Amino acid sequence: MGEGNRSEEEAQTSNQHGGWITFTFIIGTFACMTLATGGWLSNLIVYLIKEYNINSIDATLISNIVSGCICVFPVVGAVLADSFFGSFFVILISTSISLLAMISLTLTATIHSVRPQPCDHNNTSITCSSSPSKLQYTILYSTIILACLGSGGSRSPFTSLARVLVATTRKRLTRVQVESDEGCYYYGDHQDHRVGMPVVDGVRLTKSLRCLNPTALITYGDVHLDGTIAKPWRLCEVQEVEDFKTLLKIFPLWSTCIFLSVPIAIQGSLTVLQALTMDRHHGPNFKIPAGSFAVIIFISTTISLTLVDRFLYPIWQKLIGRMPRSLERIGLGHVLNFLSMVVSALVESKRLKIAHLNHLQGQVEAIVPISALWLFPQLVLVGMGEAFHFPGQVGLYYQEFPTSLRSTATAMISLVIVVVYYLSTGLIDLFHKVTKWLPDDINQGRVDNVYWTISLIGVINFGYYLVCAKCYKYQNVEEGGKNINDSITQH
């Protein structure tokens, strides 16, 4: 009886691990980390301009680079978690680094000696007694790097996919010959690879992209006697090869999402610079911080998601007989994003016209007599577009990817954002150096031309998207034209 009671107690104790109790702590930790990161990141441009005497365009470039790092470090953290340390240990380290970074940021804002002397402002120019020293730059950048490292929580790595690419190259270099479609392919150590056919599931090599098939072909020395892989960078499972093929097929659509989001990243940075020159007072005692305008996008996205899910999609289903597919949702996001850039250009043209009428060119920190609320429509349109194209992208990847890659759907979005921020940084720097559209004083520039240019890029990218969407064939579509998302929604 004693042993039975002891085993029951151990079972009850083991059942208490994990579950909702653990989930509460994890989600609380990530919520706090996200709130802290969003807070300092949204105000980074203003902080660099006001406190470190960095000109507006350079501050914008730094902000975009930091945003890209915040998206790429979680991928590094995921590789470390899955390959070496485990998820919970990486979460512990990342949250500790994030806490240290927030303390360091607070100290840079509190201790005057770690910042340069403030500039002397007059009506026409800025006189700075000193620019940031090397030590002050070192402290600032070290703090920002710590904050980026603290975001290295969890994302899906792509190690197995990299192995497919390396193994394909190595076997093509050795000229491996495949005599038949039923060759000795490797399906995993739990299956009978000797006959080249799977025992458990029905995954087989397809005829598409056959140049990758030799990657799963077993050659001498590739497999141990117990059936495990002896050379992981020379032999891959059939499932891994098919997963890699899926990524290659969906890559053109994935690439269209890059230039879909580049205008959003550029707009987000330039909106802060515009807001700094506009009247941000709402009433006699309240002034909207310039870095807080990004909140409008989040609010718009949240409201739009609710309205779209509860009203628009049901109406669509009644009229057409099915829910809108992922590619259709992404297409609507393209259209709304283009409209947002057009509105941005028109609003900036109006702001510049008023600035010129009041002869505010060259006047440092001059406030153009136009309400910053004019920036709201373009941000609302961006939020509405994100309510369509971001869920559409996740739904497309989740629906089309094999089961083993379903968890990488969010990672695909993360990789898009990484490329977007670095590419937007390059475009802003290009506009700054090649044209006169982005001077330090935007009242003397032509930010509206920047918006018109990225609108044109958006139109070209939308045409490219339509071609890719037309050529793409859904892989997971049920009979009657219904996809997986439709079935999930109906049930």
Inform me whether the pLDDT recorded for 6 exceeds 60.
Answer: no
- Among 234-238, 249-253, 322-326, the minimum mean pLDDT is found in 234-238
Would you state the pLDDT for residue 79? 61
* Torsion on CA atoms 25, 29, 35, 37, rounded to nearest 10: -170
SS3 of residue 7 by DSSP: helix
User: Average pLDDT over the chain, rounded to whole?
Assistant: 78
Q: What is the mean pLDDT of residues 388-404?
A: 83
Q: What is the mean pLDDT of residues 42-61?
A: 86
Render pLDDT for 423-466 as a digit per residue (tens, 0 to 9).
999 999 999 999 989 988 899 999 999 999 999 999 999 999 99
Would you state the pLDDT for residue 129? 57
How far apart CA 384 and CA 139 sit, in angstroms, is 39
How far apart CA 160 and CA 141 sit, in angstroms, is 34
Would you state the pLDDT for residue 380? 96
Q: Which two tokens stand for residue 438?
A: 């982005």
CB 64 within 8 A of CB 269: yes
- Among 115-129, 138-152, 353-367, the minimum mean pLDDT is found in 115-129
- Among 32-46, 284-298, 327-341, 386-400, the minimum mean pLDDT is found in 32-46
pLDDT band at 192 (very low <50, low <70, confident <90, very high): very low
* Torsion on CA atoms 115, 121, 125, 129, rounded to nearest 10: -40
SS3 of residue 84 by DSSP: helix
Would you state the pLDDT for residue 246? 79
Per-domain residue ranges for the chain?
A: 29-149, 159-236, 246-490
Inform me whether the pLDDT recorded for 488 exceeds 50.
Answer: no
How far apart CA 435 and CA 385 sit, in angstroms, is 29
Render pLDDT for 434-445 as a digit per residue (tens, 0 to 9).
998 998 889 999
Strands 278-279, 368-371: pairing kind: parallel
How many other CB atoms are there within 10 angstroms of residue 302's CB atom?
12
pLDDT band at 330 (very low <50, low <70, confident <90, very high): very high
Of 277, 239, 302, 200, the residue nearest 440 (C-alpha): 277
Inform me whether the pLDDT recorded for 352 exceeds 90.
Answer: yes
Inform me whether the pLDDT recorded for 483 exceeds 60.
Answer: no
Among 17-31, 176-190, 326-340, 429-443, the range with the most confident prediction by mean pLDDT is: 326-340
3-state helix/strand/coil string of 196-244 = CCCCCCCCCCCCCCHHHHHHHECCCCCECCCCCECCCCCCCCHHHHHHH
How many other CB atoms are there within 10 angstroms of residue 20's CB atom?
8
| Between 158 and 95, the higher pLDDT residue | 95
Inform me whether the pLDDT recorded for 319 exceeds 70.
Answer: yes
| Between 210 and 393, the higher pLDDT residue | 393
Would you state the pLDDT for residue 116? 86
Would you state the pLDDT for residue 407? 59
Render pLDDT for 57-113 as a digit per residue (tens, 0 to 9).
888 888 888 888 877 776 666 666 656 776 677 778 887 888 888 898 889 888 888
How far apart CA 102 and CA 282 sit, in angstroms, is 30
Would you state the pLDDT for residue 87? 67
Would you state the pLDDT for residue 122? 56
pLDDT band at 10 (very low <50, low <70, confident <90, very high): very low
Q: What is the DSSP letter of 45?
A: H
Q: Which two tokens stand for residue 222?
A: 């590739």
Would you state the pLDDT for residue 181? 45
Would you state the pLDDT for residue 395? 87
CB 198 within 8 A of CB 191: yes
Inform me whether the pLDDT recorded for 173 exceeds 50.
Answer: yes
Would you state the pLDDT for residue 170? 65
Would you state the pLDDT for residue 13? 46
Classify each residue of 465-488 as buried b or exposed e, where b means 16 or more C-beta atoms within 10 Å of its C-beta. beebbeeeeeeeeeeeebbbbbee
Q: What is the DSSP letter of 120?
A: E
Q: What is the mean pLDDT of residues 240-258?
A: 84
Q: What is the DSSP letter of 282?
A: -
How far apart CA 266 and CA 186 sit, in angstroms, is 47
Of 217, 218, 231, 234, the residue nearest 166 (C-alpha): 234
How far apart CA 28 and CA 77 sit, in angstroms, is 19
CB 116 within 8 A of CB 136: yes
Would you state the pLDDT for residue 478? 44
How many other CB atoms are there within 10 angstroms of residue 337's CB atom?
27
Q: What is the DSSP letter of 477?
A: B
Among 167-171, 397-401, 438-442, 462-466, the range with the most confident prediction by mean pLDDT is: 462-466
Give the max Cα distance, the chain: 92
- Among 67-81, 114-128, 269-283, 293-307, the minimum mean pLDDT is found in 114-128
Stated length of the chain: 491
How far apart CA 151 and CA 34 sit, in angstroms, is 8
Would you state the pLDDT for residue 479? 40
Q: What is the DSSP letter of 187?
A: -
Among 186-190, 196-200, 472-476, the range with the most confident prediction by mean pLDDT is: 472-476
SS3 of residue 32 by DSSP: helix
Would you state the pLDDT for residue 180? 45
Of 105, 108, 402, 44, the residue nearest 247 (C-alpha): 402
| Fold type of domain 246-490 | Growth Hormone; Chain: A; (1.20.1250)
How far apart CA 411 and CA 409 sit, in angstroms, is 5
Would you state the pLDDT for residue 383? 95
Inform me whether the pLDDT recorded for 8 exceeds 70.
Answer: no
Inform me whether the pLDDT recorded for 402 exceeds 80.
Answer: no
Say what the pTM is: 0.73
pLDDT band at 282 (very low <50, low <70, confident <90, very high): confident
